[in-house]
Structure 1
Amino acid sequence: MLTAARLGAAALSAALLTGLAAGPALADSPAPTPPAAADGLYGKGDPTYDGVWRQSLALTALTAAKVTPADSAVGWLTGQQCEDGGWPSYRAAGAACDPRTEDSNATAVAVQALVALGGHQDAVDKGVAWLKANQNADGSWAYTPGSPGDANSTGLAVNALFAARTDPAGVAKAGKSAFDGLALFQLGCAAPADQRGAFVYQPDPASGALTPNALASGQAALAAGGGHLPVATSVRSDAAPKALTCASDAAAATPAPVAHADSGEAVGAYLTAQLAAGGNHLSLTTPGAAPTPDYTATAWAALALTQSGHPQQAAGAVDWLSQEGDTWTKGGTDAGATATLLLVDQAAQRDTAALTGRLIALGPTPKATATAATASATQAPKEKKDGGIGQYWLIGVGLLIGVGGGLLLSLQRKRNQHL
């Protein structure tokens, strides 16, 4: 998933909303990197901008698929963590950590992956401590510390806190909690009716205008709904997400933050309407260009709706992503996109065998797979059954021989009597 490799970068909304910071080359652009299987990294594209991102998503998705990743794959991710607890997007082997390259997005997804894997509590604790240390005074997170916060980065940080069982309400700076930070970017009753509940990436730096952003809405929605990766919930509501209840004169009202209790449903209602209007997918819109399908935003929207207990509203998006899967994942060669699609199908409880196999093929051979475990579990009964058949066959042959022998003896006696 390379459009999401730098999901909180300061230039997201201007740089085609692809999630890349200041317009770097796409993370799948050719580069002389070692084969994935040789160093534990999933995917063969240049990892400079998305190495930790795609590795974290791959490990999270495979763990949810009951696959035990290779030690080299897990070691690659843990080896990227810096001493202060943060992760950069990528650090070359042997290179020293530079705090300026550590980012909240890489750290947040790495924490979620290690929680899913289990057995890495020290690394998780250090990652959470880094997030706490680099929270902005308004409660938000920026892609890189010291910058203004944004919805994507704040949402991902909240996801990581939930995964690590740390209450975001208790993670605060200057009296502003993580939920307060997230609320900064959500449009409330002062916005036009069709925009209420949406998230903006950031206020326009010049005018302060708040423009709904598909990717920001999709990613922040998972956090607003109290979720993290992988999405696994048994909560289900037959009703559609509930839109904000606003007074008739709300358009003229002073902007007020959306209450946390209403946040998840409000953005869910916005995303549901956007998906319905867009043919079951969200779109990437940039000035002067025709809208194009936004696979990443659609995937996060589906995850968020499922997490919030609205799988029916997510189903059309899941179907659309499945139909467009080969295009998005580049035929299953894009590790980040493949992992994200697998996470979506897992949340929707779809058949994931083929996607799991594709993702496995993009990295080192796993230590164990669910298929292997199933085969192992069914092999013994099969051998026992075959053994039983063999025993019965021998008994049957013995009986036939006995009966045949008796007949021969009887015929021989009769023949002797006639002689």
Structure 2
Amino acid sequence: MNVRRSAAVLAASVVIGTAAPAVAASPSPSPSVVIPEGLYGSGDPTYDGVWRQSQTLLAQLEQDVVPADEAVDWLAGQQCANGAFPAFRADTTKPCDAKVVVDTNNTAAAVQALEATGGHEDASGKAIAWLKSVQNKDGGWGYTPGGPSDANSTSVVIGALTAAGQKVTAVEKNGRTPYDALLKLALPCTGDGAGAFAFQPDKKGGLAANADATAAAVLGALGEQQTNVHADDDKAAASCEKPGDAEQAAHNGASYLARTMAKDKHLTSAMPGSEDQPDYGNTADAVVALAATDFHTEATASGRWLAANALKWAEQSGPAAYAQLVLAAQAAGLNPRDFGGQDLVALLNATGPKPEQVPTANESRAPEADDEAAAEKDDEGVSVWWIVGVGLVAGIGVGFLISGRNKKRQP
């Protein structure tokens, strides 16, 4: 396998994700679903197979783990002839038909993972062509082709475009770019949700603050990805100004996240009946978004909260959750190999096929070494990669963001 090793994680998701799953997959497979060889995780892959595999591969690569060939081959084999990816198809010997539901989020996730592993440029090119073909008139994307644009899906596709070397501003529909679509979902600097992003407008065209969508859109608006965000000495001012451009909108979104997590250091679940429960996955995505916008003090505080509280959630949820924590830990300046007393990388690797190569503890990069490596790579003009999970609701919505990150947002 030709592996192009990604550089240090700059922003440890949304997503995919990205975001963390709003609803975790069942820890036990459905009796009718056989877990295929090469796939990470033991839960039913019907709704998250491609998603969790993509997140796993990217998190491994960010830790200098060379994934198993069979794991990469499994992911590539999920692609349909038109270039799109479904969440999962059990029988890849049969061509995709109308019963195989493809979507933008899993397609964008797969592009980013395959670009990072290398050697799958044809598959990525077909997937990018399909994504461009289903772009909405407002410049964004919905979860399914033709569906209304949402912040999570648009951000995840921005990551795929950048990972494949595309100029995001050149991907237009009716003269509108993906950044235009995100700006339409940015809330003004007034009210409780000041500076946040909405997932979609409501039926009356109003915008409601959504923390999950905000974490994804912060990265999307920057044209960046999650796997290259690190803590440093910079600190952003928690302010909100009229978003004249996507970069200002991203800062406003991060300010909203910082305010929202200031007291408890975590986000709260928005699922009905779960108002008092922490949302571990979206908190991990928010950590990445905060770090990407220089809110490093806040990112580290929430990263430490995750280290103390999120390991049981990850154990129950599976590889995608471990991958999110790996990326969040690096974004927060913490060590993924000693996170709450656990080695997240080892736990992630244990959920599937044995990697081709795993660095020893001495060979593993500490967060400080990652900072230097990332700076060196940027100076050489080499892209670095990052991933964020941005939401999963029983197959209705999944998103995560990965893209090449340069010192400046793409023109």
Q: Which residue of 2 aligns with 1:179?
A: 179
Give the count of matched residue pairs. Answer: 343
85-94 or 74-83, larger mean C-alpha shift: 85-94
Q: How far is 1:203 from its partner?
A: 1.4
Q: How far is 1:233 from its partner?
A: 5.3
Q: How does 1:96-115 map to 2 (within 5 A)?
A: 96-98=95-97, 101-115=101-115
CA distance in 2, matches of 1:214, 1:145: 24
Query: What is the identity, as a one-letter code, of the residue corresponding to 2:292?
Result: Q
Query: What is the identity, as a one-letter code, of the residue corresponding to 1:362?
Result: T
* SS class of match (2:239): coil
Contact 1:345 1:352 in 2 (8 A): yes
TM-score by length of 2: 0.76
Structure 2 gap segments, 5+ residues each:
1-13, 338-342, 365-411
Q: How does 1:197-346 map to 2 (within 5 A)?
A: 197-205=195-203, 207-232=204-229, 236=232, 238-245=234-241, 258-277=244-263, 279-286=264-271, 290-330=275-315, 334-346=318-330
Q: How far is 1:123 from its partner?
A: 1.8
169-178 or 119-128, larger mean C-alpha shift: 119-128
CA distance in 1, matches of 2:122, 2:362: 29
Deviations 1:243-284 (A, max 9, x none): 2235xxxxxxxxxx652131211111111111103x111112
Q: Is the alpha carbon distance of 1:134 and 1:237 closer, same or farther for their aligned partners in structure 2, counting shifts above 3 Å?
A: farther
Q: Is the alpha carbon distance of 1:138 and 1:356 closer, same or farther for their aligned partners in structure 2, counting shifts above 3 Å?
A: same
Q: How far is 1:19 from its partner?
A: 5.0
CA distance in 2, matches of 1:129, 1:280: 40
CA distance in 2, matches of 1:372, 1:289: 39
Q: How far is 1:52 from its partner?
A: 0.3
Q: Which residue of 2 aligns with 1:87?
A: 85
Q: How far is 1:18 from its partner?
A: 5.8
Q: Which residue of 1 aligns with 2:396?
A: none
* SS class of match (2:261): helix
Counterpart selection for 2:358 from 369, 387, 393:
369
Q: Which residue of 2 aligns with 1:254?
A: none
Deviations 1:380-418 (A, max 9, x none): xxxxxxxxxxxxxxxxxxxxxxxxxxxxxxxxxxxxxxx
CA distance in 2, matches of 1:6, 1:28: 18
Q: Is the alpha carbon distance of 1:29 and 1:188 closer, same or farther for their aligned partners in structure 2, counting shifts above 3 Å?
A: farther
Q: How far is 1:286 from its partner?
A: 4.7
CA distance in 2, matches of 1:307, 1:284: 23
Does residue 67 (structure 1) correspond to residue 55 (structure 2)? The answer is: no
Contact 1:43 1:362 in 2 (8 A): yes
CA distance in 2, matches of 1:110, 1:152: 16
CA distance in 2, matches of 1:87, 1:50: 11
Q: How far is 1:208 from its partner?
A: 2.8
* SS class of match (1:293): coil
* SS class of match (2:181): helix
Does residue 355 (structure 1) correspond to residue 313 (structure 2)? The answer is: no
Q: How far is 1:241 from its partner?
A: 4.2
- Please tell me the root mean square deviation across aligned C-alpha atoms, in Å: 2.7
261-270 or 91-100, larger mean C-alpha shift: 91-100
CA distance in 2, matches of 1:126, 1:241: 42
Q: Is the alpha carbon distance of 1:19 and 1:286 closer, same or farther for their aligned partners in structure 2, counting shifts above 3 Å?
A: closer
Q: Which residue of 1 aligns with 2:384?
A: none
CA distance in 1, matches of 2:233, 2:194: 21
CA distance in 1, matches of 2:179, 2:56: 28
CA distance in 2, matches of 1:5, 1:163: 15
Does residue 142 (structure 1) correspond to residue 142 (structure 2)? The answer is: yes
Deviations 1:325-377 (A, max 9, x none): 2222135x6111111111211333422231110111111011111129959xx
Q: Which residue of 2 aligns with 1:388?
A: none
Contact 1:231 1:303 in 2 (8 A): no
Q: How does 1:45-56 map to 2 (within 5 A)?
A: 45-56=43-54
Q: How far is 1:289 from its partner?
A: 5.4
Query: What is the identity, as a one-letter code, of the residue corresponding to 2:236?
Result: A
Does residue 30 (structure 1) correspond to residue 15 (structure 2)? The answer is: no
Q: How far is 1:105 from its partner?
A: 0.8
Highest CA radius of gyration, 1 or 2?
Answer: 1
CA distance in 2, matches of 1:289, 1:118: 41
Structure 1 gap segments, 5+ residues each:
9-16, 247-256, 376-419
Query: What is the identity, as a one-letter code, of the residue corresponding to 1:105?
Result: N
